[in-house]
Amino acid sequence: MNSPLNNTTFCLHTFGCQMNKHDSERVEGMLEALGSLPVQSVEEADIVVFLTCCVREAADTRLYGQVSSLKNLPLRDGSPLRQRIVAVGGCIGQRDGEKLVQQMPHLNVVFGTHNLASLPGLLEVAASQGGHQVEVLEASENFNDQLPSVREQAWAAWLPITIGCNNFCTYCIVPYVRGREKSRPLEDIQAEAQELVGQGVKEITLLGQNVNSYGRDLYGRPRFVDVLDAVAETGIERIRFATSHPKDLTDEVIERFATLENLMPYLHLPAQSGSNRILKAMNRRYTREHYLDLVRKVREACPGIALSTDIIVGFPGETEEDFLDTLALVREVGYNQAFTFIYSRREGTPAAAMEDDTPREVIQERFDRLVEAVQEGACAANQAFLGAVQPVLVEGSSKRDERLLVGKSPHNVTVHAPLPEGVSAEQLAGSTVNVRIDEARTWYLSGKLAE
């Protein structure tokens, strides 16, 4: 039977982390399987789907504006639908459920993080019968690994190994909107990795809120290091993983940076703060000393490894002294990259009830000092690549200049280089080329193609 979505068009807006990016590939796969065509703009779209994020307030408030702006937008000529269908899923869908349609009555469909597979059905009912279709489940039934999928890039794939999170850092909403941690069986991971290699994928990024706690809920308790070994065995060119919680990073995993050729020399190790007092209040369950010891071990195993981190500024009760500890940590480690955030109060988390009297300007001023330190560190770290030849996995051409190719080095640094005469970036995308680096800026390297 023909789906009511056949010959419709859809536009997908995805926010937040890789979990949503991965989910969006499934949504695209499911909708295309029903005969709906992806389009770039909401004007041309019969169906607009938002995969939302609520990790910080900014992401939260943006959604309302975007959904509202669709209210009076006319449907394109020739649409098989009577009205545009607007659907909200992801973490705000999970958190707010029914409340969303009360606040935004022109919203047609709400779904959560645990029932992605229901989306096509909900859209079909909305298309044929109208009304509000809301379905949010308490917990995940499965990994959605049987759903069709359209990869954003043919040569790179996200591979979730866990979903959910059990850590309950006191500031964080993720455990409430993604549920308890659930690990995917090792055989399934290996089978999918093998299949991806067969499809010509060059880079696999293993995903989880904390990949290091993989397997604790599975029979035989396989560990993350077993996942690394199994995926490495498939012969994939590049392996990366995110995110790695410092409290659970083991010596075995660290050692793999020395022994597995396809494990890239790059580690994202979120510190969040450099103050032991704040780390305790955040329920991170490691100390600054433990963190620095991990960094030392990782660098011993893999000299020159690139490190990145996440830092929160302005956690409730953070003093100037706490902040100086964070700044000192950032300078001591010398990160290649750092994602810096101003603390955002999330209703329902333990930190939301903590006294928080630091003035906004003080927090902003700390944030600016942190960003400056991060930039100095990144720029200094990039100088190490000057003169070196780096194998670059090409992604496409530069947005500013289409004669420049853009790709990533093993250390996950963006590299630019002029394309050879008569060769387009599209032709090179997904292949690895050697670039001799002759310029090192804060956020990228430039060079020329080398043999």
Indicate whether 243 belongs to the interface with ligand SAH (CB under 6 A).
yes
Residues that bind ligand SF4 (CB under 6 A): 165, 167-169, 172, 174-175, 209-210, 245
Listed as own residue / partner, the contacts of 397-404 with beta carbons closer than 8 Å and 24 or more positions apart are 397/424, 397/425, 397/426
Tokens of 249: 């990073």
* CB within 8 Å of 289: residues ≥ 6 apart: none
- The pair phi, psi for residue 63, each rounded to 5°, is -60, -45
Indicate whether 242 belongs to the interface with ligand F3S (CB under 6 A).
no
- Pick from 54, 231, 338, 437 the residue near ligand F3S by CB under 6 A: 54
Q: Which does 136 bind (CB under 5 to 8 A by kind): ligand SF4, ligand SAH, ligand F3S, none?
A: none
Of 100 and 172, CB closest to ligand SAH: 172
Q: Which amino acid is at 71?
A: K
Burial 103-141 (b: 16+ CB within 10 A, else e): ebeebbbbbbbbbbebbbbbbbebbeeeebbbbbeeebe
Q: Which does 168 bind (CB under 5 to 8 A by kind): ligand SF4, ligand F3S, ligand SAH, none?
A: ligand SF4
CA separation for the pair 394, 7 (Å, rounded):
34
* # residues contacting ligand F3S (CB under 6 A): 13
Q: Which does 179 bind (CB under 5 to 8 A by kind): ligand F3S, ligand SAH, ligand SF4, none?
A: none
Q: Which does 175 bind (CB under 5 to 8 A by kind): ligand SAH, ligand SF4, ligand F3S, none?
A: ligand SF4
Name the pairing type of β-strands 85-89 and 109-111. parallel
Q: Which does 5 bind (CB under 5 to 8 A by kind): ligand SAH, ligand SF4, ligand F3S, none?
A: none
* CB within 8 Å of 365: residues ≥ 6 apart: none
Indicate whether 174 belongs to the interface with ligand F3S (CB under 6 A).
yes
DSSP symbol at 145: T
Q: Which does 177 bind (CB under 5 to 8 A by kind): ligand SAH, ligand F3S, ligand SF4, none?
A: ligand F3S
Q: Which span (16-24, 285-293, 356-364, 430-438) binds ligand F3S, by CB under 6 A?
A: 16-24
Question: Residue 370's closest CA among 321, 337, 335, 330?
Answer: 330
Of 87 and 207, CB closest to ligand SF4: 207
Half-sphere exposure of 183 (CA within 13 A, CB side): 20
Of 205 and 424, CB closest to ligand F3S: 205
Of 240 and 245, CB closest to ligand SF4: 245
* CB within 8 Å of 159: residues ≥ 6 apart: 189, 192, 193, 196, 204, 205, 206, 207, 231
Indicate whether 312 belongs to the interface with ligand F3S (CB under 6 A).
no
- Pick from 3, 8, 9, 20 the residue near ligand F3S by CB under 6 A: 20
Half-sphere exposure of 34 (CA within 13 A, CB side): 23
C-beta of residue 57 within 8 angstroms of C-beta of residue 92 = no
Of 55 and 312, CB closest to ligand F3S: 55
Indicate whether 310 belongs to the interface with ligand SAH (CB under 6 A).
yes
CA dihedral (386, 387, 391, 396) in degrees, to 10, reads 60
Of 174 and 381, CB closest to ligand F3S: 174
Partners of residue 10 on adjacent β-strands: 38, 47
Indicate the SS3 state at residue 89: strand
Asked whether residue 379 is marked as a ligand-binding residue, the answer is no
Pick out residues in 364-393 that bind ligand F3S (CB under 6 A). none
Residues near ligand F3S (CB under 6 A) are 16-17, 19-20, 53-55, 90-91, 173-174, 177-178
Residues placed in the known binding site for [4Fe-4S] cluster: 17, 53, 91, 165, 169, 172
Residues placed in the known binding site: 17, 53, 91, 165, 169, 172
Residues near ligand SAH (CB under 6 A) are 55-56, 171-172, 174, 209-210, 243, 245, 270, 272, 310, 312, 341, 343-344, 346
